[in-house]
Structure 1
Amino acid sequence: MKRSIADHAEQTDLRILALWAAECAERVLTCFEAERPGDLRPRQAIQAARAWVRGEVSMAAARAAAFAAHNAAREASHASASAATAHVAEHAPHSATYAAKALALAADDADTAKTRIELERQWQLRRLLDY
């Protein structure tokens, strides 16, 4: 049976998931910043997730930054602000899903969108397994 990203995430340490989610979000950050160049909330959420892993900020601070990034995504035309959600392990795979969707939304046609999603999900799983 083929295991999904969510299956692997369930067995992964929360700090590792936070780093992985930050990487997933960072891969599509340019999509968001192209639309909203002055909005730093997604970038700050990625930085906060990594700072939490290093023990430099509290979980509450990382969570607040993630929520701010989610608000930024709602204000944008698409969910390219896939925030690094470090506060709950079950949320980390959502960052990966949002990242893949952002790449699909930036595609010119359905075939390109499908290919982008497949390639991104393959990268995400490989990267998670690398951790």
Structure 2
Amino acid sequence: MNGVNQADEHTELSTTELRDVAAYAVSCAEPAMAIFESARPDDHRPREAIEAARAFATGAKRSKLIRDTAWAAHRAYQETRDAGQLAASEAARAAVAAASAAYLHPLAKATQVLHILGPAAHAARAYELHADDAPAIAREHLEKARNLASPTVVSVLTRYPPAPGGRGRAGELVRILDTALRQATTLR
């Protein structure tokens, strides 16, 4: 790396690219809202985070609304997790991740990949849990997410190092999707 510390490396991100990443994040996370909403029909916090991310993706400015709705969706994630509603909890995490995509940092760190692929991974995990921990369901959702990734999303993704290790099953799903997008392969 020519003596440059990875922590000092940056990648350029245009507003258009950030909007494309946010749109991708919304497209990946939104289908899982049905899982959350079936468990908590009166709780609109994750849906509001998705809508705030969608507004940014379609031209609104990044605003405090995105952060506020993401934090509210995070509280919904915690509440459903604590209540043992694990599929709904992962769906709420997908919404949190979708809102955070609008704040993808230009720091070339592997953790930033979570802003790009986290919505798809958490949604896939929600579907997997909803289907009694069926890995084939998660792979099916990741394949849809792979197909939704535009050339711009893949271009942005490949400016970052591969996804980091750890983070349980959702982290594993991020790494599966990351590898598939970088290698332009189908999921195994």
How would you bin the TM-score normalised by the shorter chain? 0.7 to 0.9
After superposition, the C-alpha distances for 1:74-118 in whole angstroms (9 at most, x for unaligned) are: 21122121112233322131111110000000013x4xx111111
User: Structure 1 CA distance, aligned partners of 2:64 and 2:101?
Assistant: 10
In the alignment, which residue of structure 1 is the partner of 2:135? 114
Q: Which runs of 5+ in 2 are unaligned?
A: 1-12, 105-111, 153-188
Over the matched positions of the two proteins, sequence identity in percent amounts to 36
Q: Which runs of 5+ in 1 are unaligned?
A: 1-10
User: Structure 2 CA distance, aligned partners of 1:69 and 1:96?
Assistant: 16
In the alignment, which residue of structure 2 is the partner of 1:101? 125
| TM-score normalised by length of structure 2 | 0.57
In the alignment, which residue of structure 2 is the partner of 1:45? 49
Distance of aligned partners of 1:106 and 1:94 in 2 relative to their CA distance in 1, 3 Å threshold: same
C-alpha deviation, 1:67, in angstroms: 2.0
| TM-score normalised by length of structure 1 | 0.79
User: Structure 2 CA distance, aligned partners of 1:128 and 1:59?
Assistant: 25
Distance of aligned partners of 1:123 and 1:130 in 2 relative to their CA distance in 1, 3 Å threshold: farther
**Equivalent pair of 1:48/1:57 in contact (CA under 8 Å):** no
2:139 is the counterpart of 1:128: no
Helix, strand or coil for the counterpart of 2:126?
Answer: helix
**Cα-Cα RMSD:** 2.1
Q: Where in structure 2 are the equivalents of 1:21-36 lying within 5 Å?
A: 21-36=25-40
User: Structure 1 CA distance, aligned partners of 2:51 and 2:70?
Assistant: 10
Moved more, 92-101 or 29-38: 92-101
C-alpha deviation, 1:58, in angstroms: 3.3
Structure with more contact order per residue of length (Cα contacts < 8 Å, sep ≥ 6) = 1
**Equivalent pair of 2:56/2:102 in contact (CA under 8 Å):** no
- Number of residue equivalences: 118
Letter in structure 2 aligned against 1:104 = E
| Rg larger for | 2
Moved more, 31-40 or 69-78: 69-78
User: Structure 2 CA distance, aligned partners of 1:129 and 1:58?
Assistant: 21
C-alpha deviation, 1:123, in angstroms: 0.7
Letter in structure 2 aligned against 1:42 = P
User: Structure 2 CA distance, aligned partners of 1:80 and 1:74?
Assistant: 11
**Equivalent pair of 1:24/1:95 in contact (CA under 8 Å):** yes
